[in-house]
Amino acid sequence: MSRSKVTYEWCIQIVDRESQDIDHSEFELKLSTYQQEDLWHAITRIPQFVDSFDRLMLVRYYGNEDDGEQERDYAEVRQAFDVIDGNAIPIEDEWRLPVGFEEGNKVPQRFHKELASAIKRLKPIAMRRRWPIKQR
């Protein structure tokens, strides 16, 4: 019998605004792997499309090779910016992961640091760019 272990993965979900159904999910091990614009939309309140919005999640998996995935837990990133007239306005202290996942497991500090680094990288770009909403 194989030993159970915990693994983590970032996920950008595209969510239907009306039904709240997840239309699409894109998984990556590192935030730096995402396209800059996709990550930007996921950490802001700026909708990429009229009928949907993006959200960034950290996913925690627990399981092993014999039994498969036994547990899955999510932590949603609080959004960092609001948009007024197409301009990004930073929201103080709202860009972070919660302390724990939905089921109470603690979010490791390395993910808080990775997110802070991504925000720091994106913030100067975001402050000088207009972000139009697209029709599907």
Question: Which segments of 1-108 are extended strands (E)?
Answer: 5-16, 22-28, 52-64, 68-76, 81-84, 87-90
Dihedral in degrees, nearest 10, Cα atoms 109, 110, 111, 113: 90
Mean predicted confidence (pLDDT) in 49-62: 87
Long-range contacts of 26-29 (CB under 8 A, 24+ apart): 27/59
72 or 94: which leads in pLDDT: 72
Collapsing DSSP to helix, strand or coil, 21 comes out as coil
pLDDT band at 38 (very low <50, low <70, confident <90, very high): confident
Please determine, for residue 30, whether its predicted confidence score (pLDDT) is greater than 70. Answer: yes
Please determine, for residue 47, whether its predicted confidence score (pLDDT) is greater than 90. Answer: no
CB proximity list for 121: less than 8 A, separation 6 or greater: none
Please determine, for residue 132, whether its predicted confidence score (pLDDT) is greater than 60. Answer: no
Give the residue extent of every domain in the chain: 5-127
- pLDDT tens sequence across 114-127: 998 998 888 776 66
Phi-psi region of 22 (alpha: psi -120 to 50; beta: other; left: phi over 0): beta
pLDDT band at 39 (very low <50, low <70, confident <90, very high): confident
The pLDDT of residue 134 is: 57
